[in-house]
Amino acid sequence: MLHYCVLGAGHGGLAIAGHLGLMGFPVRVWARRPESLAAVREVGGVFLEGEVEGFGPVRVADGLAEALEGADAVLVVLPASAHREIARRCAPFLRDGQRVLLLPGRTGGALEFTHVLAEGGCTADVIVGEAGTFPYASRRTGPCLARIHGIKRQVLAAALPASRTPALLEAVKSAFPQFMPARWVWKTSLDNIGAIFHPAVALLNAGRIENTGGDFRYYLDGITPSVAALLERLDAERVAVARALGVGAVTAREWLAEAYGVERSTLYEAVQVTAAYADVLAPAGLDHRYIHEDVPTGLVPIASLGRAFGVATPITEALIYVAGGVSGVDFWQAGRTLERLGMGGWGPEQILHYAMEGDVIDLV
């Protein structure tokens, strides 16, 4: 029986740890703030409600070393902006044969995690992979209670390099049959729809978010025809970058059709009739993951790839600077540029080959 470790105890982490426990897998959970797991420690697990009901036994780890020790699969359920730091902290403790799966990786997650492990001196033979999205729709509804609203039927995942994807998914398929192999991480990384819907909408509604504390419907009020017009141009840049890498990324409109069955001729109309968006409120402020996660792990790597592959991404780059202008953060420094993913100065061929095969070809 596979031993699981879950890093993170937010909306996703608590639900997935509880569900694994309920399914009978030995599971340890770790959180950056140990106090957030006090109740789970006390009752010895997580209560589940919603799509899955019951009690899942979960052990709370005392520290990252204990969390990782003996785990066959490490599920990273943290904001992608924390991947770098978590990889650095995991590097000393990972061992041969362990698998690390980022749920999700956003854009460049597996690449960053792998690069930082190597930088941190980790020489263990670890398989690192990423999913395109989190496999559940879930909420942490109490200190040791999670609600699973739905379990997605199909989620793409890939390992780095792609040749190891089968080994990764084979290991976790008893718990996660919905993971389907993507061709490589460029597919999971470039289907990043959050990079389209999150920073741009927050920035084009920045004044309203801050002035009202987010008291409006994020999608329905925030995505007006002009905002949607910009989102379509932003999305076209992402899809063009993907195409330059040989990846057929889904457009935001195709994604709404796939995920919610909504088909309209413009993104504006599609968003307005997406039932799942109807009640979603705006964030209470701009110091939010829509900026601090999605810009550095979404827009920045997409723009950086655009530069490497000669694809212009003016709207993507503009939003990175505007996000910097409102927050004071230099997202080009903080974000996943190819340089920070360990691929500085690489040419297109090297970038593509590395994701597929895991070695660096010499192009002298």
| Alpha-carbon gap, residue 150 to 105, rounded angstroms | 20
Q: 315: which 2 tokens?
A: 């709207």
Query: Which C-beta is closer to a copy of itself: that of 149 or that of 233?
Result: 233
Which member of 198, 279, 353, 362 is catalytic?
198
Using alpha carbons, select from 268, 258, 208 the residue that is nearest to residue 233. 268
CA distances from 83 to 63, 145, 176, 335, 341 (A): 17, 25, 22, 11, 12
Based on the shown chain and the rule CB under 8 A, indicate whether residue 205 belongs to the binding site for a copy of itself: yes
Question: Would you list the DSSP string of 261-300?
Answer: ----SSHHHHHHT-GGGTTPBPPSSSSSHHHHTTIIIIIH
Which range in 1-9, 99-107, 246-254, 318-326 contacts a copy of itself by CB under 8 A? 318-326
**Under the criterion CB under 8 A, does residue 303 sit at the interface with a copy of itself?**
no
CB nearer a copy of itself, residue 222 or residue 301:
222
Distance of CA 67 to the CA centre of its chain: 21
Active site residue 83: no
| Segment interacting with a copy of itself, rule: CB under 8 A, options 129-137, 146-154, 228-236, 342-350 | 228-236
User: Which region among 41-49, 168-176, 230-238, 344-352 touches a copy of itself (by CB under 8 A)?
Assistant: 230-238
Closest to 218 (Cα-Cα) out of 260, 277, 268:
277
Residues 133-172 that bind a copy of itself (CB under 8 A): none
The helix (H) or strand (E) run that includes residue 190 is: helix 185-190
Do 356 and 163 form a contact (C-beta atoms < 8 A)?
A: yes
Name the residue nearer to a copy of itself (CB basis): 161 or 335: 335
288 is catalytic: no
Position among 204, 239, 241, 270 found at the interface with a copy of itself (CB under 8 A): 204
DSSP-assigned beta bridge partners for residue 307: none
Q: For a copy of itself, which residue of 203, 262, 300, 343 counts as binding (CB under 8 A)? A: 203
Q: Is 224 in the site for a copy of itself (CB under 8 A)?
A: yes
213 binds a copy of itself, rule: CB under 8 A? no
Distance, in Å, from the CA atom of 227 to the CA atom of 191, rounded to the nearest integer, reads 21
The single residue of 11, 83, 292, 294 carrying the catalytic annotation is 294
d(CA 362, CA 159): 22
328 binds a copy of itself (CB under 8 A): yes
DSSP E strand stretches across the chain: 4-7, 27-30, 45-50, 54-57, 59-60, 73-76, 99-102, 127-131, 136-142, 145-151, 155-160, 179-181
Binding mask 232-251 for a copy of itself (x = CB under 8 A): -xx-----------------
Asked if 269 is part of the footprint of a copy of itself (rule: CB under 8 A), the reply reads no
Q: Which residues are known catalytic residues?
A: 198, 294
Residues that bind a copy of itself (CB under 8 A): 201, 203-208, 210-211, 216, 221-227, 229-230, 233-234, 286, 314-315, 317-322, 324-328
